[in-house]
Structure 1
């Protein structure tokens, strides 16, 4: 099936066409108004001259006999035909006179017999006596040429017809129309050229947008619409909005690719971590199935190893489930939590597990934050478990808790262990990441710390130097709903204090990351 083709039109061509049509209409309207005014002005001048001649003849009260007794016809014509006022450079129009007797026929006037042209004028006038009585100005045609005619009555009943040709008026109007058409055509051509050039310059940013969109469609997500020296406000707003959208699209694409890569690496790491205990359990079961564990001590050892691997796999699955739930951004049960109490509880647990480790806790007084107690307890426990699993028991540990001037609560866990390289410190919160030489652990403990802290709108950072230990800093936002509770924590106290409230602390997950 062949799809119908849609005709496309250039926006520049449409703008040019609209401007040209509008200007053409304006020129046509202006030409019509000017020609109408010119015609009215010229005809009015002719009518005034005819009216003045008729009034002058009637005021003279001459008879036909008195007119013929005059010696000079030229003086009579000068009296009847004064100079045209305001005619400018226009040629003097043709004027015809004819005397009509009482019987209605042309008669001798000024000693001259009626000419054929005068007879045609008398015939075209119809009733010249009625025309003279009405004082009206009539429009006649002689041999196709237009004339304006009036009638004047003499003292003896003779009527004089006077007609002036208006052919010059129409010729002047025709010349003016040609000039207007020529000038208007030139204006239209100049407007079309200027509109095309201006539209091309103005719409160039749209062409840049098309080029940018085409480049992005081909895979270049870094392309942006360039700016111009003298941008149009609306197009500049569109450019900024489009660039902002493209930035969001690129960020979303990069985030999606990074998330997809992390997911693939996460699945691969999880499969590898789960395969190790499963392989061990399967191996011991095969040994048992083949009867190779004949001694009770060997069977007990195999059962102990399978139980340990099953526990390890259970902890790994629990941590994966915890991360999966945190990734879904669950709704936390936020309430006031004394973070200093959680720190002392976790420090007591570490002191009980490693009594010979030097441990210093600076968390005197209450330090209340708005958060989920179980999640925050897991954060503190995982940080200390990370120290316990990856440092020697003789390495000192310092736990500090303080509040900034802005109300933020800052938890710091620092040790004097082997430390790590800066590039490893940047990846310590990656899932299943373990630095070279790391000991036990699943590699998920620090990932859980980051997920829980971010769910509380906080931040967590790690800085380390090989041979100089590792420092992890957790920053939580100020408590909402009033003045932050709690005072400064400055006095150092040894580990071993009993928990002040709540039940026993839960065993933290084995933290990984070193």
Structure 2
């Protein structure tokens, strides 16, 4: 089945699209969360560094120190800077995170006593372009010394000397880089796990859709009995779709079977009708040919030929009338429904049977009025066909019993005879059109009309028979109004 593969690719692409969409959403979430957390971390750490610088600056301003008053402190700082700077190059001690340098108004680093500025202090002084503006501003500025980031501020002493204070932020940036690497590693791992689990979950959840594709393809190839198999533990919308699809497929299979049976029945019906109509037409054509060739010279021969042609014409007329009746019933015409006293119709039909066959015992058990909501002409044809079937296929001395009863909103008409009965195989086909048990007389449409009339009224019909046990036909019809004659109807 070559047409299944592209559909599977569609399903695989759907799984891929779901996986990519989910991973992209998570990636966007991780990137956003990482950016916000790193920005918050950087802001917090730099804010702490800036707070220390502000505190140092405020302390120098509040103490009103001069350069001479802080010479001792500066000398100690220079000694520390020289000591730690030399040892940091040797890898013994780390370089200090903060430093300061006194400047004149022109931005030149000043010596404190006999101690000249160190290289880092000179680099700090060179990095400040406008010391006066820095001292006058209360802001914190970013600079770089020897490739390392610093935060600096300035303060003007009582004697006019400008002191530049700086703190290294290298540790802050290193911490942010480490956090970024950790977030990237964890985020990548989460994305990989999510992709794997999403692909597995999508494959598991979309497996019923693949079953539906395979089932639809199998049905397209002619296997109408194929159904979508159930999946244990599936109570999602996909499983509801499976149930709905199986229900639809069941109806499609039933409709297809009904159509095939209807087509076969129609072909058989047309063939049988052609055969039945051909027999009387052949007989009439034969007698006409004999007459045309002058072979019917005797009056008795012409009379017999005329009688036979009339009989065959009558037979053909009845057959056409019955075919038209069946065709009308097959089209589900609008019936002229009204309250009909079925017991009255039964008694009339029984009287007709007694008149036609006086020697036949006929018993009628239909006391009182019994109404059904039905088409009167259809019911008369139904009862007439049942009794005509008895008259044609049973001996004249065979007793007949016609009974009516009403129970649970249903009126049951039972017509039973004591004739020869039927073989069970023939009884199964008694309602088939043009079926005649044992090749007997009649058109074979009487019982088919009985079934069609019963179906048109929403009722049912059943047959009970056995060889030598007679035939009993029970017709069930929806009951009409209670057993009180409506206006204009007499019992």
TM-score, with length taken from structure 1? 0.86
Q: Give the one of 284, 287, 290 matched to 1:284.
A: 287
In the superposition, relative to structure 1, how do residues 263 and 112 fare at CA in structure 2: closer, same or farther (>3 Å)?
same
Work out the CA distance in 2 between the residues paired with 1:448 and 1:330: 14
How far apart, in 1, do the equivalents of 2:343 and 2:113 lie? 136
The 8 Å contact of residues 93 and 168 in structure 1, kept in 2 or not, is answered as no
The separation in 1 between residues aligned to 2:189 and 2:74, in whole angstroms, is 58
Conserved? CA contact 1:277–1:309, under 8 Å = yes
Task: Note if contact 2:413-2:476 (Cα within 8 Å) is conserved in structure 1.
Answer: yes
Secondary structure of the residue that 1:414 maps to in structure 2? strand
Q: Which residue of 2 aligns with 1:163?
A: 166
Counterparts of 2:113 and 2:451, CA distance in 1: 125
CA apart distance, 1:108: 1.8
The structural deviation recorded for 1:24 is: 0.8
User: Which sits farther off after the overlay, 156-165 or 39-48?
Assistant: 156-165
SS at match of 1:410: strand
Equivalent residues in 2 for 1:122-201 (5 A)? 122-201=125-204
User: Any residues of structure 2 matched to 1:334-483 within 5 Å, and which?
Assistant: 334-404=337-407, 406-436=408-438, 438-479=439-480, 483=481
Following the alignment from structure 1 to structure 2, what is the Cα–Cα distance between the partners of residues 77 and 119?
16
Deviation at 1:104, TM superposition (A): 4.1
CA-CA distance at 1:275 after TM superposition: 1.2
Secondary structure at the aligned position of 1:409 is classed as strand
1:316 lines up with 2:319 in the alignment = yes
Aligned ranges 1:229-240 → 2 under 5 Å: 229-240=232-243
**Partner in structure 2 of residue 260 of structure 1:** 263
| TM-aligned CA deviation for residue 439 of structure 1 | 2.8
1:198 Cα offset (Å) = 0.3
Does the CA contact (< 8 Å) of 2:23 and 2:194 recur in 1? yes
Indicate the SS of the match to 1:473. strand
Whether the 8 Å contact between 2:78 and 2:115 is mirrored in structure 1 is no
2:89 maps to none
Q: What TM-score does the superposition give when structure 2 sets the normalisation length? A: 0.90
Deviation at 1:125, TM superposition (A): 2.0
Maintained 8 Å contact 1:93/1:166: no
Deviates more, 1:197-206 or 1:231-240: 231-240
Paired with 2:323 and 2:43, the residues of 1 have a C-alpha distance of 98
The answer on whether the counterparts of 1:422 and 1:463 sit within 8 Å (CA) in structure 2 is no
Match of 2:115 in 1: 112
Distance 1:173 1:15 in 2: 34
After superposing the two structures, state which structure 1 stretch, 251-260 or 184-193, moved more.
184-193
State the SS of the aligned residue for 1:361: strand
Structure 1 residues 298 and 110: CA distance shift in structure 2, 3 A: farther
Partner of 1:203, secondary structure, is helix
Tell which deviates more after alignment, 227-236 or 386-395: 227-236
> What SS does the aligned partner of 1:64 have?
coil
Find the counterpart in structure 1 of residue 87 from structure 2. Answer: none
Pairs aligned (count): 469
How big is the shift at 1:137? Answer: 1.6
Q: Within 2, Cα distance between the matches of 1:321 and 1:40?
A: 96
SS of the aligned residue for 1:475 comes to: strand
Structure 1 residue matching 2:70: 3-state secondary structure: helix
Q: Does 1:228 align with 2:231?
A: yes
Deviations 1:140-177 (A, max 9, x none): 23344321002233343322211112222222222222
Which is worse superposed, 100-109 or 452-461? 100-109
- 1:107 partner SS: coil
Contact kept? 1:73, 1:110, Cα under 8 Å: no
Q: Which whole-Å CA distance do the structure 1 matches of 2:264 and 2:284 have between them?
A: 30
Residues 296-344 of structure 1: CA distance to partner in whole angstroms, max 9, x if unpaired? Answer: 2122112111111111111101101111111111111111111101000
Change beyond 3 A, Cα 1:71–1:244: closer
Once residues 70 and 299 of structure 1 are traced to their aligned partners in structure 2, the CA distance between those partners, rounded to angstroms, is 158
- Residue in 2 that maps onto 1:490: none
Gaps of 5+ in 1: 79-90, 488-499, 503-514
Q: Any idea what SS the aligned residue of 1:65 has?
A: coil
Contact 2:107 / 2:128 at 8 angstroms: preserved in 1?
A: no
- How far apart, in 1, do the equivalents of 2:219 and 2:369 lie? 55
| Local SS of the residue matching 1:466 | coil
Structure 1 residue 270, shift from structure 2 partner = 0.8
Relative to structure 1, is the Cα distance of residues 154 and 39 closer, same or farther in structure 2, using a 3 angstrom cutoff?
A: same
1:131/1:70 Cα in 2 relative to 1: closer, same or farther (>3 Å)? closer
1:457-486: CA deviations, max 9, x gaps?
11111121111011111111122xxx5235
Alignment partners' CA distance in 2, 1:92 and 1:346? 127
Write the distance in 2 (CA, Å) between the matches of 1:228 and 1:272: 55
Name whichever of 106-115 and 200-209 sits farther off: 106-115
Deviations 1:270-295 (A, max 9, x none): 11111111122222222223333222
Structure 1 residue 102, shift from structure 2 partner: 5.2
Are 1:98 and 1:109, in contact at CA under 8 Å, matched by a contact in 2? no
Question: Among 325, 329, 332, which residue is 2:328 paired with?
Answer: 325
Task: Give distance in 2, aligned partners of 1:425 and 1:356.
Answer: 27
Partner of 1:485: 483
